Amino acid sequence: MHPFIRNGDVITVYPLSGTLPRYGDVVAFVRPGTSTLIVHRVVGKSDDSFLIRGDNTGYFDGLIPTANILGYVTKVERNDREAYLGLGPERFLISFLTRRGLLLPLLSPIRRLIRPIIKR
């Protein structure tokens, strides 16, 4: 889920509790056929399954049944501070760009411009 969730971040997952994920939500789920826990973004819906993809991957996780989704990511903490980007209203735009494979090509030039300023 880089750049919005990074290695070492601490995430809080809230159970679905009868509600269904929405477009752009970041969810924790168990990949069908394995016991692997994954945290990726909802980029589409089909019946009672959700199309899920990581923000930094070149592939979809496929249609994940609602039963495999454990909950929503409601909080991301990085270096003892809360990180907000990617979980608020901007999640819809991020999801749209992720689904079409456009997020990383758009972020790369921005990162190159900002990185020298941040390192000062």
User: In this predicted structure, what is the pLDDT of residue 107?
Assistant: 73
When mean pLDDT is compared across 16-20, 43-47, 88-92, the lowest value belongs to 88-92
- Number of neighbours of residue 87 by Cβ within 10 angstroms: 22
Residue 2 has pLDDT above 70, yes or no: yes
**pLDDT above 70 covers what percent of the chain?**
90
Which residue, 52, 20, 21, is CA-closest to 38?
A: 52
Cβ proximity of 21 and 42 under 8 Å: yes
CA–CA distance, 120 with 102 (Å, rounded to integer): 29
- Give the model's pLDDT for residue 45: 92
102 dihedral zone (left: phi>0; alpha: psi -120 to 50; beta): alpha
Task: Give pTM, 2 decimals.
Answer: 0.77
Specify the range with the lowest mean pLDDT, choosing from 16-30, 34-48, 84-98.
84-98
- Average pLDDT of span 10-14: 94
Residue 21 has pLDDT above 80, yes or no: yes
Question: Comparing C-alpha atoms, which of 17, 15, 19, 45 is closest to residue 28?
Answer: 15
Query: What dihedral do alpha carbons 57, 2, 49, 73 form, nearest 10°?
Result: 170
CATH number corresponding to 10-118? 2.30.30
How many CA within 13 A on the CB side of residue 36? 9
Greater confidence, 117 or 50? 50
